[in-house]
Chain A
Amino acid sequence: MSENITVVVKALPFILQGLAVTMSMVLEALFLGLVIGLSLAVGQIYGNKWISGSISLYVWFFRGLPNLVLLFLFYFGLFPLLGLDVSAFVIAVIALGLRSSAYQSQVFRGAIQSLGEGQMLAARSLGMSKCKAILNIVLPQALRIALPGWSNEYPILLTDSAVTYAIGVMEILTRGNLVVSRTYKPMPLYLTCAVIFILLNYGGMKIIHLLERKVRIPGFGNGER
């Protein structure tokens, strides 16, 4: 037992260096997914049939692929093919972010559609252009409505991020693996990784709930009146 503890204590500084890698990968992918996902949702709803058709195809494509397949496709296929010398970390962010954008777009789309046409009509009746109406009226409301559903993307991306060990991103699991291969003590080391992921998940959700409370407005979802 004490042997296990010493292994963990000795390995911990090395594994914890992966914390920053995991977190920046997750947050960057989340942000990429947010920006692209929001644009996709707007395009899918307000675009002409060609735009919304292409977006549906994009969503269908990225939602249909396992993470690992996408990672390999990018890391061993697409990026070398294009002659791009990009780190595994960047490729991981792009792959996770694009996949996440497909999921996020559907959360935002649902939120926008739940608004009802009255908001748009009122905005247009005051002389707002479609673009101004989307920016000032539709999106501020849709984002608040989407927040609870959207916050699921964080734990999903966090757990998905471990898959990037397969292309050698130096995140938490990759580091745990390296120590295991040297010490042959899988149980305590993987347990350590598990605890770190659980704590990251817990902490992140806490922050998201704080954010939810901060942007809460009477009359919206769980906002009290």
Chain B
Amino acid sequence: MKTEDNLILKVEDIHKSYGNTEVLKGVSFEVKKGETKVFIGPSGTGKSTLLRCINQLTLPDSGRVWLHGEEVTHSGKNINIYRQKMGMVFQNFNLFDHLTALKNVEISLIKVRGMKKKEATEKALEELKQVGMEAQAGLYPAELSGGQAQRVSIARALAMDPDVMLFDEPTSALDPELTGEVLEVMKKLALGGMTMLVVTHEIGFAYSVANEIIFMEKGRILESGPPQKLVNNPRFERTKQFLSRLSELYKLGDEK
């Protein structure tokens, strides 16, 4: 499966059912190095499930995922190696509540990568600096604002030097005035060449950062394309309606 060198992630025909409801009905796409793809779509469409099927936090019923041409699906214990290379950022941050910001970033360096404490601390501080959180390194998650917590969780994922970052609605649990600082960090990452898959309804971010917007509906990719094309010239009426609703919300949010 060694194809083009710049192909980082390949997702092929992912199916997933919960009970009798098929949540993913065959999703396929490819991601090249440095690309940012934004997933949008109605609630319950399977966007979160799709991201989790990629790093196998949820096991797909069928379909395959490759990272750098190596199969991630059915990889047994090796999954713990692949997961390090696919950083994940959750809607609710999921910071480790008993650890300071610094230790949140440090712990996987020490326990998973086997780094020495001193080396890990240095790297963790470096990552916190990247997201503008080095001054709060000693604070516990409960002492951070939502925006700060989410930036720490991004640093935590980045510390493993991932090849691709998966973001599942990273700003939707935040107060509107806090989304900016997180989107800023993500934008910087994308511009710095990170490969990213982002589930978000921040259409402004998608418009300015994404190489491609993927519109999902009812467990399938309905259509996809560069932001300008999808926003100005969508193939399906449903895409158009959804996007125009998002843009309205976005403008409303902007006026505040």
Contact = CB atoms under 8 A, between A and B. Distances in A.
Contacts of B83: 124-127
A136 interface: yes
B121 interface: no
A128 B156 CA distance: 13
Contacts of B112: 126-128, 132
Interface residues on B, range: 20 to 34
A219 B94 contact: no
B92 to A, nearest CB: 6
B142 A218 contact: yes
Interface string A189-225: 0000000000000000000000000000111100101
B160 A219 contact: no
B80 interface: yes
A223 B88 CA distance: 29
Contacts of A177: none
Contact of B111 (A121, A124, A125, A128): A128
A101 B136 CA distance: 40
B160 A141 contact: no
B19 to A, nearest CB: 19
B97 A220 contact: yes
Contacts of B205: none
Interface string B67-90: 000000000010011111011101
Contact of B98 (A122, A123, A128, A144): A144
Nearest to A219: B142
Given A126-B108, A128-B111, A144-B98, A118 B142 contact: no
B143 A126 contact: no
With most chain A CB atoms within 10 A of its CB, the pick from B57, B88, B98 is B98
B55 A125 contact: yes
A129 interface: yes
A225 B84 contact: no
Interface string A164-193: 000000000000000000000000000000
A119 interface: yes
B97 A119 contact: yes
Interface string A131-148: 010001100110010000
A218 B108 contact: no
Contacts of A125: 55, 57, 83, 86-88, 90, 157
B160 A126 contact: yes
A140 B99 CA distance: 10
A126 B97 contact: no
A137 B96 contact: yes
Contact of A217 (B81, B98, B153): B98
A123 B108 CA distance: 8
A43 B146 CA distance: 34
A144 B140 CA distance: 15
Contacts of A220: 97-98, 142
Nearest to B113: A127
Contacts of B140: 217-219
Interface in B40-85: 55, 57, 77, 80-84
B91 to A, nearest CB: 9
Contacts of A217: 97-98, 140
A219 B96 CA distance: 11
B97 A141 contact: yes
B90 A122 contact: yes
Name, among A121, A122, A218, A223, the residue most crowded by chain B CB atoms within 10 Å (CB to CB).
Answer: A122
22 contacts: A118-B90, A119-B94, A119-B97, A121-B94, A122-B153, A123-B96, A124-B57, A125-B83, A126-B160, A127-B81, A127-B82, A127-B83, A127-B84, A127-B108, A128-B108, A129-B80, A137-B96, A137-B107, A141-B97, A217-B97, A219-B142, A220-B142
Interface of B: 55, 57, 77, 80-84, 86-88, 90, 92, 94-98, 107-108, 111-112, 140-143, 153, 156-157, 160
Given A126-B87, A137-B96, 20 more contacts: A119-B96, A121-B57, A121-B90, A122-B96, A122-B153, A122-B156, A125-B57, A125-B87, A125-B90, A126-B112, A126-B160, A127-B82, A127-B160, A128-B111, A129-B77, A132-B112, A137-B107, A141-B97, A220-B142, A225-B143
